[in-house]
Amino acid sequence: MSEPRHAMIFECDEGDVWLNMVPAAEGDDDRSPAASKTYGPFGGVEEARSFADDNFQNTGFVIPVYAMHQEVADRICMHYVIDRIEDIMGNYAGGCGLLDDFKRELIYNLGVNQRSRNNG
């Protein structure tokens, strides 16, 4: 019988279900997520669990479903804020000292490379 090891099921944005687990756990085998492999896609959670049951030794528990989808209703996109600041600053030819400082602070915290990637 196999010893417990990392195993989880997750659903990606496209709706496919994937199994991520350590295929073997005997003796001194690495059982951490670093040693895991991903299998799939599957049509659903039960299909992924059946695949694990049919192809691997008992993990010692029901493989959990990892919830990757989280609601983010109380946050605002920093790219949006920076874009709006730039729009406002475009109306003032002489510049806006404090607003310009705030924009630079946001870009610094966000990261210049991330800002460049977002603006394509």
**What confidence score (pLDDT) does residue 4 get?**
65
108 in a structural domain: yes
Question: In this structure, what token pair is assigned to residue 49?
Answer: 């669990």
pTM, to two decimals: 0.51
Q: What is the CA radius of gyration of the chain?
A: 23
Give the pLDDT score at 62: 81
Q: How far is CA 57 from the centre of its chain?
A: 28
pLDDT at position 1: 47
Tell me if 105 is assigned to some domain: yes
Mean pLDDT by 10 residues, the chain (120 residues): 72 83 73 81 91 77 75 69 81 76 81 68
Claim to verify: residue 57 and residue 98 sit in the same structural domain: no
Task: Give yes or no: residues 44 and 83 share one domain.
Answer: no
Instruction: Examine the domain organization and report whether 56 and 17 are in the same domain.
Output: yes
The reply to whether 58 and 102 lie within a common domain is no
Q: What is the per-residue pLDDT for 35?
A: 78
Two tokens at 2?
A: 């196999």
